[in-house]
Amino acid sequence: MSVSIPEIAKEHGLVPGHVYGVLAELGIEHEGDRFEVDAEVLELIRVSLGELAGSKEIRLPHGRTPRDVSLALGVPQPEIQKCLIQKLKTMASVATVLKDDVAEKLVANFGYTVHWGEAPKPKPKPAAEAASAKAALARPPVVTIMGHVDHGKTSLLDYIRKTNVVAKEFGGITQHIGAYQVDLPEGRITFLDTPGHAAFTEMRARGAQVTDIAVLVVASDDGVMPQTIEAINHAKNAKVPIIVAVNKIDKPGARPDKVLQELTQYEVIPEAFGGDTITCNVSAITGEGVPQLLEMILLQAEVMQLTADPKGATRGVVVEAKLERGRGPVATVLVQEGTLRVGDAVAVTAAYGKIKAMTDYKGEKVDAAGPSAPVEILGLSEVPMAGDTVIVVKSERDAREIAEQRKDDDRLKDIRQAHKPRMTLRGIREKLTQGESKELLLVIKADVQGSVEAVRGLIEKIENEEVEVKIIHYGVGSVTESDVLLASASDAIVVGFNVKPEGKAKAEAERHKVEIRTYNIIYELIDDIHKAVKGMLEPKFEEMYLGTVDIRVKFDFSRKGVIAGCYVTDGKVTRNARCRVKRGREVVFEGAISSLKHLKDDVREATVGFECGITFDGWQDFQVGDQIEAYEMVQIND
Ligand code: GDP
């Protein structure tokens, strides 16, 4: 059977490095992060792992790279890289072989020690075959351009397209299909044509992440602006690396150095300042620096080792779709895995069909499209939505069945989404005890810069051993749709100080079940967060009137107790209601209902004009003529 190393490590409360060590000792080979064994040997491995419980020592062979350490510790690559740069002052790419002492210090920073040993020999593979297999799997990076309005995102996309894409049809006009590709001697890049982080996060909130690299455009005559910061935080939360294009350097007022300086305040540390963010000075008008920018994108992609199998099962994502007269539903699909072909039967979330024709971004008809290629497809049953997934199946009939099933699934998902316990201030404690969360993520919006800083300062001071309070985005102004989408994609809470959500933001928050809390008193804001992480935020309840019921008959069954024969005169009464029984003005009972019947059946509710039988929880001294006021306790969000 095939076993996942990270998973078996987690089962034993260990890190993958422990498993690699045990495999080495037993002389068992592994392929990447999996290995093949029979049940007996697996039992032996489990026993060995059991003996390691609590051990902080991991066995590593000499000559480790940051990537190896990341795999062994099960710590994400960026954290390893950050530790190398910030704590060990060492610049190394993910594939650089580290000196043993550096590797030891790196591992020590995460609380482990190294036991140096030899790695089991990997299965011999002819070098040429291995290299060509890897090259065949490499895929172009998918890039989104982000940044503040008017900083030159569209101009940059247009310049790159104009200088690198040769149109074949329509008298030299390239097609806008939502994405295009450029071919350079060093490689190919796919650009998504809709600039900005809103589309990016909207797709992410729908569960589709297509972007590999974000190019952040900052105008050098304007500097870092609110949407620049938003873009940074959206990219960071999606764990997408940022390359900064400092634009408009042709302008007399350009101050590119100031831009780099400003960026450091938002934890984007340019390489020039010892950080790991690549920056490029460019002009989208003269084209200066653009070739270097493209080169940097390819370099970053190489480090990321993006791969996809063109021969595997085909999967893609819709990036744009519309209904066109004479052509029907038209969708631009970005292929992610495998190869999409004319004639393929596809299920596109709720739509389906057989691909009648495909056109690329140059307006050329194509028969096939491989990983990272955008193509416009014709032949779908309906117009899909951006973010919908595309899969290739055996026949159109299968496609239809799957699409229909997905339609149902989607409905289920919507229902599930609505009931999925989203992060809320009151709910954090519960999530914590269920082991679901160890952090409280916040998006902070306030009326002026001064209050943003004050709120941030106070929140950063909140210390709690179990919960880490993290601000993933902050800014001046009302709560926007983009704030809500970011919170939804990251399971964060939006906190507004002296500001209110915009209408659209409110609607989005309801749809995505994102909590927005607004305050006018800073002390209350901080106090609530304090209490939330300590689990002291008691839910507040309010009484909600349900209805009035008259008691008209008293049935005394010795076995079942005394039942009040009632008539609902207003509203309704429910099985779960609480009630107040009044005799004249005097309240003679206050408590819960223990049964509610209509004729002989138990019912959930009885509405106005109906008769029903009621028994009370632990009380039966009612009289004919008493009146019941039914109410419910509902939780309120302040
Ligand atoms: P977007 O809102 O970020 O897409 O910005 P646009 O691409 O629409 O550019 C806004 C304005 O800035 C336009 O008038 C562009 O011509 C101008 N612009 C963009 N890039 C440059 C540049 O590198 N140099 C100069 N001088 N102007 C630029």
The 3-class SS string of 126-163 reads: CHHHHHHHHHHHECCCEEEEEECCCCCHHHHHHHHHHH
What average pLDDT is seen over the chain?
85
Ligand 1 contacts CB of residue 473 (under 6 A): no
Q: Pick 593 or 419 by higher pLDDT.
A: 593
247 in ligand 1 pocket by Cβ < 6 Å?
yes
**What pLDDT, on the 0 to 100 scale, is given for residue 536?**
57
Binning the chain into helix, strand and coil, the percentages to the nearest 5 are: 35, 30, 35
pTM listed for this prediction: 0.60
pLDDT at 112 > cutoff 70: yes
Q: Residue 636, SS3? A: strand
Among protein residues, the one with the nearest Cα to ligand 1's atom 16 is 155
d(CA 189, CA 184): 8
Does the pLDDT at position 362 exceed 90?
A: no
Asked whether 284 lines ligand 1 (CB < 6 A), one says: yes
Contact present, 53 and 46 (Cβ < 8 Å): no
The reported pLDDT for the residue numbered 213 is 96
Ligand 1 centroid to Cα of residue 198, in Å, is 19
Count how many Cα atoms sit within 13 Å of the Cα of residue 352 in the half-sphere of its side chain: 19
Residue in this structure with the two tokens 């998006």, named with its chain if needed: 443
Nearest by Cα to 281 from 259, 252, 253: 259
Q: Is the pLDDT of residue 590 over 70?
A: yes
Return all residues near 151 (Cβ < 8 A) that are at least 6 apart.
217, 218, 219, 222, 225, 228, 247, 248
pLDDT at res. 537: 57
CA atoms within 13 A on the CB side of 495: 31
pLDDT value at position 6?
Answer: 87
Q: For residue 270, what pLDDT band results from cuts at 50, 70 and 90? A: very high
Q: How far apart are CA 266 and CA 466, in angstroms?
A: 26
pLDDT of residue 462: 83
Q: What percent of the chain has pLDDT over 90?
A: 40
- Atom from ligand 1 closest to the CA of residue 195: 4
More confident residue, 213 or 386: 213
Question: What pLDDT score does 433 carry?
Answer: 62
Q: How far is the CA of 343 from the centre of ligand 1 (A)?
A: 42
CA dihedral 224, 229, 232, 235 (to 10 degrees): -140
Mean pLDDT of 262-287: 93
Q: Give percent of the chain with pLDDT exceeding 70.
A: 89
Please answer whether residues 318 and 357 qualify as being in contact, where contact means their C-beta atoms are separated by less than 8 angstroms: no
pLDDT of residue 367: 95
pLDDT at 625 over 70: yes
* Vertex 245 angle, CA 242 and 250, to 5°: 175
Cβ of residue 251 lying under 6 Å from some atom of ligand 1? yes
pLDDT in tens, 241-265: 999 999 999 999 899 999 999 999 9
Q: Is the CB of 285 under 6 A from ligand 1?
A: yes
| Mean pLDDT, residues 339-346 | 95
pLDDT at 552 over 80: yes
Query: What's the distance, CA 379 to chain centroid?
Result: 31
What spacing in Å lies between the alpha carbon of 386 and ligand 1's midpoint? 27
**pLDDT band at 208, cuts 50/70/90?**
confident
Distance, CA of 439 to CA of 431 (rounded, Å): 10
CA distance 31 to 14: 20
Atom of ligand 1 at shortest range from CA of 148:
3
Q: Name the band, by pLDDT with cuts 50, 70 and 90, for residue 122.
A: very low
Tokens of 457: 């300062």
pLDDT of residue 419: 40
* ∠ CA 139-141-143, rounded to 5°: 155
